[in-house]
Structure 1
Amino acid sequence: MEPITYTPIGIIHSTNKKPEGTPIQFSGAKNSPGEIEIFPEYIEGLADLDGFSHVILLYHFHLIEKPMLTVKPFMDDCEHGVFATRSPARPNPIGFSIVRITEIRGNLIFIEGVDIVDSTPLLDIKPYVPQFDAVTIEKTGWLENNAHKHTTTKDDGRFLK
């Protein structure tokens, strides 16, 4: 298969200047502010986005150099397959977060709930729609006994270059 390449549509700016200390999930970063700078050629795509309170951001984990197939995630002491975790050290280092829009001004989108490192390349924005995106689930695997840690656990830098 031919390689797939993506071109960033913007840059995510945040108060998280390095991975260490950054919340590991957007649910643990409720009041953390940020800003998305959309590149000029993509501004037209922001039309009607102001009608949504929340968006899904897809971005590139730009500080990850080496993908891993097994990882020790932040909320457990055991190794797990990377696809059973939200580790950034993935074969395709793509992250996602759900953030709240507080304002859109020109090519800038002001957001809250930012669990993203400053200067992260933004790949895409999708509106969050609870009727589409919120589902009832039956099981959460190894996280069943660890998910309660999501609001207090911070990145410790274990997946950096």
Structure 2
Amino acid sequence: MITHGGDITMRPIGTIRTAYTETSSIPKGPGARHEAEGVLEIRPDLEPGLADIDGFSHLFVLWVFDRSE
């Protein structure tokens, strides 16, 4: 149960991988073109949860910028 003002803990279920290895190489600012493709890697122990994923039209991905300053 979450009470008002309580903490919420998130545990990663996977990793997003792109061609960008450094934050300085990511396009930023007005007019930046975001055309890079990436891959979502789900932890192997959670792969059974992906059964029938093709039946969905949309997926929501929540992420944390782990290298943000």
Shorter-chain TM-score: which interval?
A: 0.5 to 0.7
The offset of 1:53, in angstroms, is: 6.3
Aligned CA RMSD, in angstroms, stands at 2.5
Q: How does 1:1-161 map to 2 (within 5 A)?
A: 1-24=5-28, 28-30=33-35, 32-52=36-56, 55-64=59-68, 160=69
What letter is aligned with 2:66?
H
Specify the SS of the correspondent of 1:58: coil
Specify the SS of the correspondent of 2:39: strand
Task: Give every structure 1 segment of 4 or more consecutive aligned residues whose post-TM-superposition deviation is greater than 3 Å.
Answer: 51-56
Q: Report the TM-score, using the length of structure 1 for normalisation.
A: 0.33
Specify the SS of the correspondent of 1:59: coil
1:64-118 residue CA offsets vs partner (Å, 9 max, x unmatched): 3xxxxxxxxxxxxxxxxxxxxxxxxxxxxxxxxxxxxxxxxxxxxxxxxxxxxxx
What letter is aligned with 2:54?
D
Larger relative contact order (Cα-Cα within 8 Å, sequence gap ≥ 6): 1
Supply the distance in 2 between the matched residues of 1:16 and 1:34 (Cα, whole angstroms).
9
Supply the distance in 2 between the matched residues of 1:29 and 1:50 (Cα, whole angstroms).
25
Q: Report the TM-score, using the length of structure 2 for normalisation.
A: 0.65
What letter is aligned with 1:48?
D
* More strand, by proportion: 1
Unaligned segments of structure 2, at least 5 residues:
none
The share of aligned pairs that are identical, in percent, is: 36
Unaligned segments of structure 1, at least 5 residues:
65-159
